[in-house]
């Protein structure tokens, strides 16, 4: 993205200025010691990837924040998961700690919802070809996952993902119907989901794309998009939507096996949904 187009200055040890706006900087490994109460903080965006259960994220509440938004899959039954465009309209003001799910779930869930509503998903598998992340090793080194231990920029790394199963957290009808894996590849950003499903209603590729276009131009506008151009991953850098269907890759085998491919910016695009969900939480 290049350099940040703003005038950023350090004003003091705990304050920076961004185009004249003063922003206080606080830092602590323990959320309990953060000054959320005295600062009047309404929502904490918990993006460390560490405090993702009720006990950990709850420390922000104890410290004085009113609500916590976790930018990862939450752990435990008491943390509801919301995906904008899928079930975020069900958010309740009593939900003080919520999860925005993963970037891959945010890509998969919107078009899985459309496919299930239009054709009925019986079962399916998903593969996300995913840009490498900070959880991998730059050079071969130690890691609890021996594949993630291998050099991220030199290998295609098969690994696990809970994204497909997590769809059931926002679409309960799909519980037990989807599973998947991830292939981490040597690109720094932008990923692509490949979903193959068996459906109840007989269909064909053009009908599948038509259903996705209808949703993209209607209730899921701004979350789902459909692309007809022969693009590659870098073309989706800084895409604001959660998933962009690659219409030319949609296939139907027989009349009940459907393949849909969707691109997503797993960094920028996901961040847009974090902001969207924070706005929804702030209104309640």
Q: Is 56 annotated as a binding residue?
A: no
Identify how many contiguous H helices and E strands the chain contains and give both numbers: 6, 14
Q: Is 161 annotated as a binding residue?
A: yes
Q: Is 103 annotated as a binding residue?
A: yes
User: 264 has which bridge partners?
Assistant: 191
Q: Is 147 annotated as a binding residue?
A: no
Instruction: State the Cα–Cα distance between residues 48 and 265, nearest whole angstrom.
Output: 19
Q: Is 62 annotated as a binding residue?
A: no
Q: Is 242 annotated as a binding residue?
A: no
Q: Is 29 annotated as a binding residue?
A: yes
Per the annotation, the verdict on 103 as an active-site residue is yes
Closest CA to 81 of 174, 171, 182: 171
Instruction: State the Cα–Cα distance between residues 176 and 123, nearest whole angstrom.
Output: 8
Closest CA to 184 of 249, 137, 223: 137
Q: Is 244 annotated as a binding residue?
A: no
Q: Is 254 annotated as a binding residue?
A: no
Reduced to 3 DSSP states, what percent helix, strand and coil does the chain have, rounded to the nearest 5? 30, 30, 45
The first and second tokens of residue 209, run together, are 């794309």
The annotated binding site is made up of: 29, 71, 102-104, 133, 161-162, 184, 266
Residues identified as active-site: 103
The annotated binding site for D-glyceraldehyde 3-phosphate is made up of: 102-104, 133, 161-162, 184
């Amino acid at each position: 993205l290049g350099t940040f187009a703003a005038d950023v200055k350090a004003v003091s040890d705990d304050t920076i200025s961004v185009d004249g706006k003063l922003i206080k900087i606080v830092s602590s490994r323990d959320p309990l010691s953060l000054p959320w109460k005295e600062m009047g903080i309404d929502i904490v965006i918990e993006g460390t990837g560490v405090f993702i259960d009720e006990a950990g994220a709850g420390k922000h509440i104890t410290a004085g924040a009113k609500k916590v938004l976790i930018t990862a899959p939450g752990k435990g039954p008491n943390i509801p998961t919301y995906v904008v465009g899928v079930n975020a309209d069900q958010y309740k003001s009593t939900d003080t700690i919520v999860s925005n799910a993963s970037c891959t779930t945010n890509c998969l869930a919107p078009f899985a919802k459309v496919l299930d509503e239009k054709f009925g998903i019986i079962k399916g598998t998903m593969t996300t070809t995913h840009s490498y992340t900070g959880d991998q090793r730059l050079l071969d080194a130690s890691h609890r996952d021996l594949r993630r231990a291998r050099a991220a920029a030199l290998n295609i790394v098969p690994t696990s993902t809970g994204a497909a199963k997590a769809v059931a957290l926002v679409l309960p009808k799909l519980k037990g119907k989807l599973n998947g894996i991830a292939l981490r590849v040597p690109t720094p950003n932008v990923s692509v989901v490949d979903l193959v499903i068996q459906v109840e209603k007989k269909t064909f590729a053009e009908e599948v794309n038509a259903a996705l276009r209808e949703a993209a131009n209607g209730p899921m506008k701004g979350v789902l998009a459909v692309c007809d151009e022969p693009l590659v991953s870098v073309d989706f850098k800084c895409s604001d939507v959660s998933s962009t269907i690659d219409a030319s890759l949609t296939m139907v085998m027989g009349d009940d096996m459907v393949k849909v491919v969707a691109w997503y910016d797993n960094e920028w695009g996901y961040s847009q949904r974090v902001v969207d969900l924070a706005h929804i939480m702030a209104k309640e």
